[in-house]
Each structure stands twice: as structure tokens, then as C-alpha cells.
Amino acid sequence: MHLTILYRGPIISCNYGCEYCPFAKRQQSAAELAVDRQALEQFVNWVAQHSQHQFSILFTPWGEALIHNWYQQALVQLTQIPHVHKAAIQTNLSCQLDWVEECNKDRLALWATFHPEWVSRDRFLSKCLELDRRGVRFSAGVVGFPKYKDEITNLRRELPNHVYLWINAVKKELPNLSTQDRNFFESIDPLYELNTQHYPSFGRACRAGESVISVDGDGKMRRCHFIKEPIGNIYERDWETALCDRLCTNQTCHCHIGYVHLDYLELDKVFGSGILERIPNNWALQRLR
């Protein structure tokens, strides 16, 4: 079985302070961080021990995890495990990047978000260029507020063509956007409009709960991050029995890490093997033409 896991441990802190974010500048005590570290180590060991399955893993922390060396080491370890196809993480890219050299880079991917109010474009760009130089697969992106348009224009101009720059649609701001704003975002990210939708999902087939699950620091399995009801626990013997076809019980799904698994959207054809780190299929090839 090939299982995709979205892992979100107990971390809820960040070194940046984006005004719209509940984790902005939140700090955790050494004891709280130790719990996160222990949970992550247990998870990585569990993956290593289940060599009868294939795994793809995306870390979707609440806050910034990659500034902590235990997440860097988790990626080093996971990418060295033969039955792990991919280990990816969402990050603000503020950490040092030398650790990537210890990874199997064929299996590593980063989902990097630029926060113009917290880091200069030059600094974010230099990290992106470093990733590129080091041969790491990554997408870069920005939250789609019109106030960032100049920064986005410049970032697109400065990033290598083969790096995909996504724009996250701010759903509740959409009614306030002009046609020009939406056209602008689409000129940067041809898939921007895909991200502006609340996709009807109730009663629809979704791979979440069958071949994709979310796992928390205690090992609790959920179908996805958006349906809170647990379906099992990976640390229990019978964990695999929880995996089965299920229809979505939410009315809509509006986040990339969720709706890409809705069968009827067929977004696996759009993103292919880059579905976790949000890189469209053959993006680099298309841009080189």
C-alpha cells in the first residue's frame, strides 16, 4: 500500500508574526518543544518500521517547524528510508539549509512561503536560490493580498523560471478583489483560480481516509485536517483497518492539501508527483519551452 500522511505534531509556535495567523510570534517552553520532538521521533521510527508499505509524507505544522533541528533530522532520516517516496514540509524558509546535504534529495521537497511583512524579498530569494543550487525540489508562494503585488511581481522576475510560484487565494477577501487583482494573480500563478473555490465535497469520493490520512503527535489518524473525528491510531496494532473508501462528510473543501485528493477534480493529473509540495506536473519543462 502507498499511504500519504499529513503529519502535524504538537508544535504551535513561530518565529514570524504574520498578522492573520494564530501562531504568530507564539513561543513554547522547552518542555513543550521536547514533547513535539519526542512525538516526531516516534513517528519517524514508526515509518521506518513499516517497510511493508510505501509512504509519502508532508509536514503541515501549525507554526514554523523547520527552524528546529529535529524536523531537519526527521527529513534527513525519512529521505534515507527506501520505502519513503517523498518527505516534504511547509516552511517560511527562515532556517539554515546546510542540513539538506544529508538528505536523499531525490525524495526531499519543500513548500516555501514568502511573508513580505516579515522577511525581505532578497533574503527569501537568496534561500530559494540556495535550494535551487543545492538541487532541492521546492515550490514558492505568497498569500494573495493585493498589497503584496509589487513584491510578487519582483519575486516572479527574480526567481528562476523553472520555480513554480503559487498564490494562495484569501477566500474571504475575494469579494474585495478587483478583476485586475485576480487577473494579476492568475498571470503569476496560472492555477490561482483553482485555489479560489470552495469545492462541493459532501457525499463525494475522496482519497482522504483511504490512501491519504492526517496524523497528529499522539498517532491519532484522521481522514484529513478538516474532519476532526479520529478514525484510528497508527500506534495501535489494527491501524490499517481504519483505511477504507469513504465519502466526504463536509459540505465543501477549499484548501490545496485537502481538495487535491477529491476524486472528481482529478488534480492528480495536474500535479502528478508534485501534489504534496504543490508543483504542477512538468512545470519546469513547460517553463523551459
Q: Which residues bind ligand SF4 (CB under 6 A)?
A: 14, 16-18, 21, 23-24, 63-64, 92, 115, 201, 206, 208, 223-224, 226-227, 248, 250, 253, 258-259, 261-262
Residue among 250, 251, 261 nearest 208 (CA): 261
Q: Is 234 helix (H, G, I), strand (E, B) or coil?
A: coil
Closest approach of Cβ 154 to ligand SF4, in Å?
Answer: 20
Q: DSSP assignment of 165-204, as one string?
A: EEEE--GGGGGG--HHHHHHHHHH-TTGGGGG--EE-TT-
Residue 24 grid cell: 504568530
Summarize the chain as % helix, strand, coil (round to 5).
40, 20, 40
Closest approach of Cβ 132 to ligand SF4, in Å?
Answer: 21
Closest approach of Cβ 62 to ligand SF4, in Å?
Answer: 7
Closest approach of Cβ 284 to ligand SF4, in Å?
Answer: 26
Eight-class DSSP state of 52: T
Q: Which is nearer to ligand SF4, 18 or 35 (CB)?
A: 18
Q: Which is nearer to ligand SF4, 9 or 63 (CB)?
A: 63
Q: Which is nearer to ligand SF4, 59 or 226 (CB)?
A: 226
Q: Which is nearer to ligand SF4, 42 or 250 (CB)?
A: 250
Residue 40 grid cell: 516526531
Closest approach of Cβ 206 to ligand SF4, in Å?
Answer: 3
Phi, psi of 74 (to 5 degrees): -65, -40
Q: Which is nearer to ligand SF4, 28 or 250 (CB)?
A: 250
